[in-house]
Structure 1
Amino acid sequence: MKILANSTLIVLIAAIGLGKARAQQIPKDLGFFLSQAKSSSPLLKDLSNQRKSLAIDSMVTRATAGPQLSANGAGLYAPVVHGYGYDEVITNGQALEGYLSLNYDLLNKKRVQNQLEGIKLQGDSIRYAGKLSTFDLERTITDQYLLAYASQEQQRFSSEVVSLLQKEDALLKTLTRTNVYKQSEYLTFLVTLQQQQLAEKQAEIQYRNDYATLAYMAGMQDTTRTRLQEPKLQDTQLLENRTFFMKKFELDSMRNDNLKKGIDLNYRPKLGVYANGGYSSSLVLQPYKNFGASVGFTFSVPIYDGHQRKMQYQKLQISGETINAYRDFFSSQQRQQLQLIRQQISQTNGLFNKINEQIKFSKGLIEVDSRLLHTGDLRIADFIIAINNYMSAQSLYRQTMINKLKLINQYNYWNK
């Protein structure tokens, strides 16, 4: 029974280990890293908390617009010793008061509404900043994912080349021993093999670094490397009205309008009413009768303040002109940027047919040279040249594809 239990435990541990190994081998796509980066971004969490805070500010503004009830109390004792002390005509010697006071501003509805509109504009600005931060994060993570994927493919291709050369190595050793090839030719091949083995190790190191950087940027704690899936990026159609980046300038203009409305409201009449009730006494004459109440109002109208209103208008006008200048410049730059990227994508697409033809030709040449090599009818140097040409063509294809994907990533970012 003990042996059976131990065997069961061993099988269970092996199964768990196999499950973990398979889990680590599950390929990860670009969406996985984007999701990880968004969920771990402190900036996005900060902006989300700022929106929650603004919701509380709105409630505070509405609360302060209603009637305000407060409790107040005060006491005074001013002794007079041997004729020295405060004038009792002014102080009454002592006083005690305590009352409840109710205050309400009758003409504050538009002011409160303007404050709420200002808070809403702040919320819209934070929401815009959140979307912009998300787009920036997506662009950055996508670029790093493309870099890591390119490193992965380079490492994979280097392994394939090394495997190909190692297969030929065994045959060339035999052919060299039988004097079909010279020792110097075989040594040339061996140097090429060793160079490719070194290149494979370098590609592995580069892939490790690029993957670790990707995981770091995505805020991942587990940096266990897994195979990256081929990224699927499609360039969006050119939008006639790219409104996202223009939203910033629209919000700035609306904020200016809100400030102007606030200035106007500050020059309107203000009317408030109040009421209080409680106890107020000098404690000199019948203090038990000094309970009472009072009502009243306050009213004010601005008449002259040195033309401050006009000056504030001028500042807002200057700010508006600045906003328009930035908007027009950005709109022009955005159009040029998209046209340039679109042109680069088109030019890049034009390279693929030629590169694919070169790869097809180079691969076919390697197959022919390999057969000739086996019969001793080809110089080893020519076989090495064919291998190098094939590697160069493959490297050019991968680099061109990654460049295209990076251009698409940039294009999609600006074409919002």
Structure 2
Amino acid sequence: MRITQRFLFLCCLMLVQTLTLQAQNATRNIDYFLGAATKYSPVLKDYKNQQQSIRIDSLLVLAAAKPQVTASSAGMYAPIIKGYGYDEVLSNGQSLEALLNVNYDLSNKRRIKNQLEGIKLQSDSVQYAGALSLFDLKKSITDQYITVYASQQQVEFNQEVSTLLKKEEALLKQLTRNNVYKQSEYLTFLVTLQQQELSLKQAELQYQNDYATLGYLAGLTDTSTIPLAEPQLAYPVSQPTKGFFTKRYDIDSLKNVNQKSTIALNYRPKFGVYANSGYNSSFLLQPYKNFGASVGFTLSVPIYDGHQRKMQYEKLDLATLTSNYYKDFFVRQQQQQLNLIRQQLTATDQLFGQINQQIKFAKGLIEVDSKLLRTGDIKVVDYIIAINNYMTAANLFRQTTTNRLKLINQFNYWNN
């Protein structure tokens, strides 16, 4: 029995250790937040519903193109009292009709096709707006993720420096007691340690705020700050492809063409047929024989409307010309933006060599000064200066890395 209890205890202990290790190693990557933002975004859901609504519009158009069957009924009674009342010759005194009507527009085929093309363009426009919204969402999430990761690194670095200073503070305190260093030098170092601890707390608060903002943008209610994995952003060197951002201008141009077709179809003759059957009687003569049917046609030919068609064409031509102006200007701006980001990335990459060399020298100086500190051969102020120089170089490296990642994110956005 005791062996079984020990075995169960060991199993539980191993399970707890495994879960603890997994919790320590657990990280979240950028895909986690992008997936949540895509899942919970009401804007993307709105565009999706708009697509479904447009699909229903196309079905409505197809349904309207079929023969339309309606049932109608009307009754009337005009009494004549003491010779007063409607003229019976005109009103027939009373009437009743109950008809089944069938109408079909024979010239509607081209109009239906044009309407379906317009609905397709509307669907393309909504699809483009949804894709653009998704691009904007990914860009903002990625930017904030980079900001949070930079805050996370800042906390880790401040913790590293605080640990180093605490270690040296214990040594310096002992050396001060042994009269190797003055009390004022120890107090100067202690003030530096306290400032670093305050910087660590500020960095932790900033990290929590940045993390909360990231969760807010992604639509997450979880407030836990699980460590983030390093963002992996690819920097493409190719030119933008067919141009996602200019597609909206192409859609607008096609819409103008579709509207021209609509105008042209409005000036074509309209021809339709109809048929009805049922009961229609005034009850004046053999009402039981007033069951019957009728067929007919309708024809409408536009002749003159004051040149409205020409003026509508001119408006659409001006709209197309304006859209082309905006498209050309945007293409110039996009290319300028990409060129500027490339220049900034090149200049940023050139900084890393100098910064890494500065960090290497600053870290080496700290190691030398730390050894001299133990023997009392260096002033405490000089050691503090060495630490501050190392912190400045390390902060510059993180800031430059963060800026580079954000530049890559911008380049990937505009390179679509």
TM-score, normalisation: structure 1: 0.95
User: What amino acid maps onto 1:167 in structure 2?
Assistant: K
**8 Å contact 1:242–1:415 — kept in the other structure?**
no
Match of 2:104 in 1: 104
Q: Is 1:193 the counterpart of 2:193 in the alignment?
A: yes
Q: 2:335 & 2:386 partners in 1: Cα distance?
A: 45
Structure 1 vs Structure 2 CA RMSD: 2.1
Match of 2:164 in 1: 164
User: What amino acid maps onto 1:415 in structure 2?
Assistant: N
Give the Å deviation of 1:237. Answer: 2.3
> Gaps (5+ residues) in structure 2?
none
Give the Å deviation of 1:117. Answer: 0.2
Match of 2:372 in 1: 372
Q: Is 1:77 the counterpart of 2:77 in the alignment?
A: yes
Q: Structure 1 386/261 Cα, relative in aligned 2: closer, same or farther at 3 Å?
A: same
Give the Å deviation of 1:84. Answer: 1.1
Give the Å deviation of 1:91. Answer: 1.0
**8 Å contact 2:235–2:412 — kept in the other structure?**
yes
> Gaps (5+ residues) in structure 1?
none
Secondary structure of the corresponding residue to residue 35 of structure 1: helix
Match of 1:116 in 2: 116
Q: Structure 1 13/217 Cα, relative in aligned 2: closer, same or farther at 3 Å?
A: farther
Secondary structure of the corresponding residue to residue 274 of structure 1: strand
Secondary structure of the corresponding residue to residue 27 of structure 2: coil
User: What amino acid maps onto 1:76 in structure 2?
Assistant: M
The one-character-per-residue Cα deviations of 1:343-378 (angstroms, maximum 9, x if unpaired) are 000000000000000001111111111111111111
User: What amino acid maps onto 1:112 in structure 2?
Assistant: I
Give the Å deviation of 1:12. Answer: 7.7
Match of 1:140 in 2: 140
Q: Structure 1 327/66 Cα, relative in aligned 2: closer, same or farther at 3 Å?
A: same
Equivalent residues in 2 for 1:10-409, closer than 5 Å: 19=19, 22-23=22-23, 26-239=26-239, 241-409=241-409
TM-score, normalisation: structure 2: 0.95
Q: 1:348 & 1:51 partners in 2: Cα distance?
A: 43
Q: 1:122 & 1:31 partners in 2: Cα distance?
A: 31
Q: Structure 1 12/60 Cα, relative in aligned 2: closer, same or farther at 3 Å?
A: farther
Give the Å deviation of 1:163. Answer: 0.2
Give the Å deviation of 1:242. Answer: 4.3
Match of 1:413 in 2: 413
Secondary structure of the corresponding residue to residue 275 of structure 1: strand
The one-character-per-residue Cα deviations of 1:267-306 (angstroms, maximum 9, x if unpaired) are 0000000000000011122111110000000001000111
**8 Å contact 1:24–1:225 — kept in the other structure?**
no
Secondary structure of the corresponding residue to residue 297 of structure 2: strand
Give the Å deviation of 1:19. Answer: 4.4
Q: 1:208 & 1:16 partners in 2: Cα distance?
A: 27
**8 Å contact 1:24–1:224 — kept in the other structure?**
no
**8 Å contact 2:62–2:112 — kept in the other structure?**
yes
User: What amino acid maps onto 2:104 in structure 1?
Assistant: Y
User: What amino acid maps onto 2:102 in structure 1?
Assistant: L
Q: 1:84 & 1:134 partners in 2: Cα distance?
A: 75
User: What amino acid maps onto 1:235 in structure 2?
Assistant: Y
**8 Å contact 2:240–2:415 — kept in the other structure?**
no
Q: 2:266 & 2:397 partners in 1: Cα distance?
A: 67
Give the Å deviation of 1:200. Answer: 0.3
Give the Å deviation of 1:238. Answer: 2.8
Secondary structure of the corresponding residue to residue 81 of structure 1: coil
Q: 1:254 & 1:19 partners in 2: Cα distance?
A: 59
The one-character-per-residue Cα deviations of 1:22-70 (angstroms, maximum 9, x if unpaired) are 4586100111111111111000000000001111100010000010011
Q: Structure 1 345/186 Cα, relative in aligned 2: closer, same or farther at 3 Å?
A: same
